[in-house]
Amino acid sequence: MIEPFGLGGWSWGVLRLHEVPVDPSTDLVGRTGDGLGVFRRHFARFRPLVTAAALGTAAGAHTLVTGALAAKTRVGVLPRVRDNALVVLGRTHAEITAALLAALTTSRLAADSHPHADFAARVGKAAGVDTAVRAVADLAPLIGAAGFQRAHPIAKARADLTGLLYADGIHDSLYRSGGVTLLTEPVAEMAPIRPGTAAADRYDKAA
Looking at residue 42, what is its pLDDT? Answer: 77
Let me know: does 158 contact 65? Beta carbons within 8 Å.
no
pTM: 0.76
Looking at residue 205, what is its pLDDT? Answer: 46
Show the low-confidence residues of the chain (pLDDT under 50).
197-207
Looking at residue 10, what is its pLDDT? Answer: 58
Looking at residue 102, what is its pLDDT? Answer: 95
Looking at residue 198, what is its pLDDT? Answer: 46
Looking at residue 147, what is its pLDDT? Answer: 78
Q: Which residues of 4-29 are buried (b: 16+ CB within 10 A; e: fewer)?
A: bebbeeeeeeeeeeeeeeeeeeeeee
Looking at residue 126, what is its pLDDT? Answer: 94
| Residues 162, 7: Cα–Cα separation, whole Å | 9
Looking at residue 58, what is its pLDDT? Answer: 95
